[in-house]
Amino acid sequence: MATQTSIKTVQAAGAIAEVPPEDVQVRRRRKWFGDARGQSLTPMGWVGQIVRWVLLLLFAALFMYPLAWLLAASLKPRGEVFDNRLIPNTFVPENYLVAFDEMPLANWIGNSIFIAVLAAVLVAVSSSLVAFGFAYYRFPGRGILFGIVLATMMLPGAVTLVPQYLIWNQLGFVGTHVPLWGANLFGSAFYIFLQRQFFLGLPRELFEAAKLDGLSAWGQFWRIAMPLSVPSFVIILLFEFQASWNNLQAALIYLNTGSQEGYTVPLGIASAMTKYSPTAGGQGDYQYVMVAAVLVTIPMLILFAFGQRSFITGIATTGRKG
Amino acid sequence: MSTIADAGTGKRKARATKPLKQKMGSLRRKEAVAGYLFISPWIIGFLIFTLGAMVYSLVISFSYYQLATDTARPAGFANYERLFEDPKVMGSLGNTLFYAVLAVPFEIVLALGLAMLLNSVRRGAGFFRTVFYLPKMTPTVATASMFLLLLNGNQGAINRGLAAIGIQGPQWLLDPDWVKPSIVLMTLWGVAGTMVIFLAALQNVPTELYEVAEVDGAGPFRRFWNITLPMISGAVFFNVLVLTIAAFQVFDQAFLLFHRDQVQGSSDASLFYAIYLFQQAFRQFDFGFASAMAWLLFVIIVAISLIQVKVGNRFVYYESER
């Protein structure tokens, strides 16, 4: 699990980190075929641009189709889910109300939000603490310990899956939500790496001056490093919220035996997929599953809209300050 | 934490009269203590949830562990011998390898193609990048629940679409030969994570190289082969490594489509290694065997990573300043 999460976060980091300020974007705007050069285009160049646009639109349609299909299906009556129309023949917005009666959706969403917020805040604070230690203090074994931090990113989650279950079982937390956020108290390798990079980019003089003024080590962290690192702190919050929101395996392991009300959204939807499946004796009321799928997706889309912007401002701010 | 500060200010006066060398030593010690305190969350977490868990896992893998009684009879190498006797272990390993070999090249080619397309348009790249990224933000449960219906062999939108252009679509979810391509298709829908890493790499290729090559009369294919590919080889290597490791741990998609419950008679074709490991651990509660499986996976992943790093070192071009 750990590795899967870190892979996702590395990719997400790429997603957001890759947006440079607008002027840089314009300067870098590339021409793999060598025609878009920031000068005016030749007629041939225009043809090339139009061909690429058509291709991009085609791919955009392919990528958007399932989401449009999902939204449409969530608004259809049972018999029409499979008619594959993107505009439902019969509009049934009541699905969104009935779904909450059919499944304890409100509980699932509440559980997921609670766990994801807690997981994100805990891991962001603990990782920042650890990152500050690695970035600003010299102590014996620092290099080796940081090497171990990096090495743990490569460890497949499967290796620690069973013993971690046994540890939580020993502590009596199996069946509760604690195992879904508890390990976040201790920081996470990728986030430690990210925050350490950010802290290393801050001018050391800031901290030297604060030390001379009598600010404690904790004060240097909490009153100087943390406020300056808000951009990367927000990135950690967003990434971990997403990772936690998507986490199916941990919910399967730790919550599956408990009552339905205790499920998270991913586990709930997984159970609903079976419940409504005709092969498992259901009626094929997939429109309710689609409602749940829409509801689990929307927060991520909001997060994405919000995250993209926050990072650009982050770069702008540090660019001015650094 | 505030105690560090108190101790520091309290002792400062007393120390002012001590010889300089001694003072330096104690300052260094104070710095080390602060460093260790800052990284202590990670140290605790590492000792319990990583190192402790790994040792625990190793011990369990050499025993017959009974969860109910919390006893572990020594088993010697029995669990490891079973790895080679249980045909499902090798079968699931074969499935996983097959999936990785199928998925990774498709992902790399599609991601690189889309990234180059985005990188070569003058306007709208940001818009299309956002569109392509939305599937990546969609939680896996939502993706799986909609693809469960889209891939339906008889009524699903994908086969209807294929029928419209005169192709008889396969029984994606039932035919053992098409189970893995189904998961590849789902994975490709979220290819944008890999794409943005390529996009970032492409934007760092110096424009001058293309200009010089064009003056020298190099065509698009030569420019791609001799400039683009070498310049982004680091990103290619990173993506191949990360995607391979992820493919070897594929779980969520396969679980949601094929293994939600034991009743569902899913064919062996969808039994991936992580799925079988999960079943052995948390359905059969055979923790000893599951731990042995986890260590085999660990060895395989380490071996594959090492091979890829070795091969990568030969082909990856690193700029001197990197």
Per-domain residue ranges of chain A: 2-29+92-321
Q: What is the pLDDT of residue B269?
A: 87
Q: How many CB atoms lie within 10 A of CB B53?
A: 22
Residues B140 and B20 in one domain: no
Q: Count up the domains in chain B and report the number.
A: 2
Position B76 in a domain? no
Residues B36 and B167 in one domain: no
Give the separation between CA A152 and CA A6, rounded to whole angstroms.
Answer: 10
Q: What is the pLDDT of residue A310?
A: 54
Q: What is the pLDDT of residue B41?
A: 97
Q: Would you say residue A176 has pLDDT above 90? A: yes
CATH number at residue B262: 1.10.3720.10
- Closest CB to B122: pick one of A36, A129, A166: A36
Q: Beta B63-66 vs B71-74: how paired, if at all?
A: antiparallel
Check if the beta carbon of residue B172 is closer than 8 Å to that of residue B156: yes
Q: Would you say residue B291 has pLDDT above 80? A: yes
Query: Which among B302, B129, B290 is positioned nearest to B202, based on CA atoms?
Result: B129
How far from A161 is each of A276, B56, B156, B281, B304, CA to CA, in Å?
Answer: 30, 11, 36, 9, 21
Position B46 in a domain? yes
Three-state DSSP state, A37: coil
Residues B49 and B94 in one domain: no
Q: Would you say residue A14 has pLDDT above 60? A: no
Residues B50 and B174 in one domain: no
Residues B150 and B266 in one domain: yes
Q: How far is B57 from chain A (nearest CA, A)?
A: 6
Average pLDDT over residues B193-206: 86
Residues B32 and B110 in one domain: no
Give the separation between CA A224 and CA A204, rounded to whole angstroms.
Answer: 11
- Inter-chain contact B142–A297, Cβ cutoff 8 Å? yes
Position B160 in a domain? yes
Test mutation, A18, A75, A115, A215, chain B, max B CBs within 10 A: A18
Residue A125 backbone zone (phi > 0: left; psi -120 to 50: alpha; other: beta): alpha
Which residue bears the tokens 């009524």?
B155
pLDDT, tens only, B140-197: 999 999 999 999 888 889 999 999 999 998 999 888 899 999 999 999 999 988 888 8
- Chain B residue with CA closest to A184: the answer is B45
Q: What is the pLDDT of residue A40?
A: 66
pLDDT, tens only, A198-246: 899 888 888 888 888 889 999 999 999 999 998 889 888 988 998 999 9
Q: Which amino acid is at B9?
A: T
Average pLDDT over residues B305-311: 90
Q: What is the pLDDT of residue A258?
A: 80
pLDDT, tens only, B223-265: 899 899 999 998 899 889 989 999 999 999 999 999 887 655 5
- Tell me if chain A has a CB within 8 Å of the CB of B223: yes
Q: Would you say residue A39 has pLDDT above 70? A: no
Average pLDDT, chain B: 87
pLDDT, tens only, A184-199: 999 999 889 889 988 9
Q: What is the pLDDT of residue B179?
A: 92
Looking at chain A, the whole-number percentage of residues with pLDDT higher than 70 is: 82
Q: What is the pLDDT of residue A307?
A: 79
- Residue A249 structure tokens: 């395996």
Structure-derived torsion over alpha carbons of residues B84, B90, B91, B92, reported in degrees to the nearest 10:
120
Question: How does DSSP assign A17-32, residue by residue?
Answer: HT---HHHHHHH---S
Average pLDDT, chain A: 83
Residues B106 and B9 in one domain: no
- Residue B67 structure tokens: 């969860």
Q: Name every chain A residue with its beta carbon within 8 A of the beta carbon of B38.
A: 129-130, 132-134, 137, 217, 221
Burial B40-52 (b: 16+ CB within 10 A, else e): ebbbebbebbbeb
pLDDT, tens only, B81-93: 999 999 999 999 9
pLDDT, tens only, A115-168: 999 999 999 999 999 999 999 999 999 999 999 999 998 888 889 999 999 999
Average pLDDT over residues B14-28: 67
Model ipTM?
Answer: 0.85
Average pLDDT over residues A24-51: 61
Residues B26 and B116 in one domain: no
Position B72 in a domain? no
Position B74 in a domain? no
Q: Name every chain B residue with its beta carbon within 8 A of the beta carbon of A289.
A: 145
Residues B56 and B90 in one domain: no
pTM across the whole model: 0.85
Question: Which range of residues forms the domain containing residue B57?
Answer: 2-61
Residues B38 and B185 in one domain: no
Give the separation between CA B257 and CA B184, rounded to whole angstroms.
Answer: 12
CATH fold of A2-29+92-321, please?
Answer: MetI-like fold (1.10.3720)
Position B53 in a domain? yes
Residues B12 and B155 in one domain: no
Check if the beta carbon of residue A272 is closer than 8 Å to that of residue B148: no
Query: Cβ neighbours of residue A184 under 8 Å, at least 6 residues apart?
Result: A118, A119, A122, A123, A126, A240
Residues B148 and B243 in one domain: yes
Which residue bears the tokens 């090495």?
A151
Average pLDDT over residues B35-57: 96
